[in-house]
Chains A and B, each alone.
Chain A
Amino acid sequence: MMSGGRRSADRRAVLLAVTVLLGIVLFAGASPSAAAAGPSLSILAPTNDQIVGNGTPVIVSFAVANFVLVQPGRVGQVAGPSEGHVDLYLDGVYSRLLTRVEPVSLPLESGPHTIRLELVQDNGTALNVSASVRVITTHGPAVGTPTITIVSPKPGPTISHDLYFALEVTNFTLVDAHGQPNAPNEGHVQLFLNGVLHQEPRAYDLGFIVDMPDGNSTVIARLVNNDNTPLTPDVSASVTVRILGAADPTASEQVTAGVSLILALILLVLLLRRRNAARRVAQPNEKS
């Protein structure tokens, strides 16, 4: 009886030991993230779809909970699910390794970007704990409605065929287009002469149209995106100038015509006097 009871107790002990061992294996191997109670990662700033204006770098602030940031590769380091570092991906491309919870400054090209942070163990194993944020960066202001005004020339007549066009732009930053993505309140100016696209002045340069035709010409200045599409709604200004052609030769014509008149009068007087003289010569003959 005692032997049977003892055997039964031994079996229970072995079973218990195997169960504990199995539990440890499953606990340590199958669900490492459960070892530390839920590491978490959140991005505090910027907010999703935030527009970061004026060409300033994007400052990413983040918080980590239940996870200790340490330098990977330290002497004697033991990888565990509760410590590691943060990998930063910019537009899907690995960009930085962060071991300190402090703001990260990212100078980004204008356009939309996605910033993703991910918790990673010391041995490089990802914890599947990540956070991401979409931002739009621009050299222009983050808010405000763009406007454009043609400061010079003023509407009306002008004698010059070569005209500079001075523009005043607000709430919009002019950049030289070279194929970069669109960004809010950022782009360049297009000048249309009588409806035909004529030129795209460099950023903050004056427009300069030469050899304009005589008569009325309408120049439209339009703000466009980096890809040359108009803003929505359209932002443009126009001015109509009248280029005076070559001066009418009225002065020389009048002088010459005046001389002609004088000469004609002289000739007329001479002819009349000759005629009268001829009559005076003829009359005595008639009397005789």
Chain B
Amino acid sequence: MNARVLAFIVVTVGVLILSGIAAPNVRAASAPTLSIVSPTPNAVIGNGSPVVVVFAVTNFNLTDPGNGTSSPDSGHVDVFVDGGWTANASVNTIVLALPSGPHTIRLQLVTDNGSALNPNVTASVAVMVTLGPAGGTPGLSIFFPREGALVGTDSTVSFRVTNFVLVAPGGPAGVPNEGHVRVLLDGASYADLTDDAPLHLNLKDGAHTVTLQLVDNAGRPLNPDVSVSLLITVQALVGRVTPFDATPYLALVNILLGLGILAAIYRKLEAK
């Protein structure tokens, strides 16, 4: 074979091979696919942040809905949250503002007129949204009064919560790092706190134990339990200065003076 022809063939074959390597997806027109890149399954989305869903498609052109051309390899994505249609998207990132609790996000490729592909192409992911932080261990501490303190009838207990957000009871159960504070007074349920304002107490004299406990939205203690107890002694009028009152003694003097007057009058009458 002529060497020039051979060289031409080698170069041509090489170029063709390289073209094939560089564009493998051209080699076969496959069915469209859809996958969710982010968030990962069962991810916890903290601080009440919106859920950012990033998805990838193959062999499918994303187009804005309503452009008029429906074909099985172009269209948009319908977004379903907890089974209900929520939005559509023609870009690969969707931002969803979701309330606290577990959610299932399902994406579905649809043609421009909204009909599902055949076969149906979907992808879904489960996430957990919380108003609390996504990570970290919840903490609870009392910084006033100190253990064993002597306090008056009216008193306040100040506490701190970390890595946990206080919300009103009744929200979805099982949401991490979110719930309220249960107050136990001498072992009995006393109040539920939904914010970190100081706890106001009005107690009888004597020793009392105040226990604060973090509980989830369903009122169940966290696992492991997060609680703190405080022993205080209540005494009325602590810190009050009582001034000296001479009135009782003066009253006694008055009685004696009165008796003296009566005696003097009696003697005078007797003398007459």
Contact A200 B196 (CB under 8 A): yes
A1-25 interface bits toward B, Cβ cutoff 8 Å, 1 = contact, 0 = none: 0000000001101101110110011
Contact A260 B52 (CB under 8 A): no
Q: Which residues of A contact B190 (CB under 8 A)?
A: none
Q: Which residues of B contact A28 (CB under 8 A)?
A: 18, 21-22
Q: Shortest Cβ distance from A2 into chain B, in angstroms? A: 15
With known contacts A74-B61, A79-B23, A199–B158 Cβ distance under 8 A: yes
Is A113 engaged at the interface, CB distance under 8 Å to the other chain?
no
Q: Shortest Cβ distance from B265 into chain A, in angstroms? A: 7
Is A85 engaged at the interface, CB distance under 8 Å to the other chain?
yes
Contact B158 A76 (CB under 8 A): no
Main SS class of interface, B: mixed
Q: Which residue of A lies closest to B201 (CB)?
A: A210
**Distance A153 CA – B226 CA, assembled complex (angstroms):** 37
Is A215 engaged at the interface, CB distance under 8 Å to the other chain?
yes
Contact A77 B92 (CB under 8 A): no
Contact of B240 among A100, A202, A213, A273 (CB under 8 A): A213
Q: Shortest Cβ distance from B98 into chain A, in angstroms? A: 13
Q: Which residues of B contact A29 (CB under 8 A)?
A: 18, 21
Q: Shortest Cβ distance from A251 into chain B, in angstroms? A: 9
Q: Shortest Cβ distance from B16 into chain A, in angstroms? A: 11
- In the complex, which range does the number of interface residues on chain B fall in? 35 or more
Is A245 engaged at the interface, CB distance under 8 Å to the other chain?
yes
Contact B257 A263 (CB under 8 A): yes
Contact A215 B241 (CB under 8 A): yes
Contact of A71 among B61, B158, B258, B271 (CB under 8 A): B61
Q: Which of B7-15, B204-212, B217-225 binds A?
A: B7-15
Contact of A253 among B143, B152, B245 (CB under 8 A): B245
Contact A210 B156 (CB under 8 A): yes
Q: Which residue of A lies closest to B97 (CB)?
A: A107
Contact B261 A21 (CB under 8 A): no
Contact of A214 among B26, B143, B239, B265 (CB under 8 A): B239
Is A164 engaged at the interface, CB distance under 8 Å to the other chain?
no
**Interface residue count for A (Cβ, 8 Å)?**
77
Q: In chain A, residues 205-242, which have Cβ atoms closer than 8 Å to a Cβ of chain B?
A: 205, 208-215, 228
**Distance A72 CA – B58 CA, assembled complex (angstroms):** 7
With known contacts A20-B11, A75-B59, A13–B3 Cβ distance under 8 A: yes
**Distance A273 CA – B60 CA, assembled complex (angstroms):** 128
**Distance A78 CA – B164 CA, assembled complex (angstroms):** 48
**Distance A178 CA – B138 CA, assembled complex (angstroms):** 9
B187-207 interface bits toward A, Cβ cutoff 8 Å, 1 = contact, 0 = none: 000000001111010000000
With known contacts A209-B156, A252-B247, A73–B57 Cβ distance under 8 A: yes
With known contacts A75-B59, A200-B160, A214-B240, A176–B195 Cβ distance under 8 A: yes
Contact B242 A178 (CB under 8 A): no
Contact A210 B200 (CB under 8 A): yes
Q: Which residues of B contact A274 (CB under 8 A)?
A: 264, 267-268, 271
Is B113 engaged at the interface, CB distance under 8 Å to the other chain?
no
**Distance A69 CA – B18 CA, assembled complex (angstroms):** 24
Is B176 engaged at the interface, CB distance under 8 Å to the other chain?
no
Is B25 engaged at the interface, CB distance under 8 Å to the other chain?
yes
With known contacts A210-B155, A245-B242, A179–B139 Cβ distance under 8 A: yes
* Smallest CB-CB A-B distances: 8 pairs: A213-B239, A17-B7, A10-B3, A179-B162, A263-B257, A211-B152, A270-B264, A256-B250
Binding site for B on A (CB under 8 A): 10-11, 13-14, 16-18, 20-21, 24-25, 28-29, 71-80, 85, 94-100, 107, 109, 123, 161-162, 176-180, 196-202, 205, 208-215, 228, 245-246, 248-249, 252-253, 256-257, 259-260, 263-264, 266-267, 270-271, 273-274, 277
